[in-house]
Structure formats: C-alpha cells, structure tokens
Amino acid sequence: MSSFSTIITHIIIFIHMKLLISFIKKCLNQFSTLIQVYFLFITNFIIEII
C-alpha cells in the first residue's frame, strides 16, 4: 500500500515538473519576444537621434 502511494506521489511530482517547465518555457518565449521588441524600439530610437 505504501509503495502504491509513493508511485502516485512520484507521478504527481512528475506532472507538476512538466507543467512548471512548460510554464517557464512559455514565460521565457514571451519575455524574449518582449526583449526583441524593446531592442528594436531602442535601435530605432538611436537611429532617429543620429
């Protein structure tokens, strides 16, 4: 009985890790696109100044 519960616990932890990793990847993707847009904006601004 105890081994069964540990297996379930491991499965739950595994699922949470997968969800967390996918969430982090999504956040990183959004963050990188945001940085790219920001970088483009700054380069355009600098070009305008020059």
48 vs 16, which has greater pLDDT?
Answer: 16
Alpha carbons 44 and 50: distance in angstroms, whole number: 10
Angle at 3 between CA 15 and CA 11, to 5 degrees: 5
Residue with tokens 């790219």: 36
Q: pTM (2 decimals)?
A: 0.56
Task: Dump pLDDT digits (tens) for 34-48.
Answer: 999 999 999 999 888
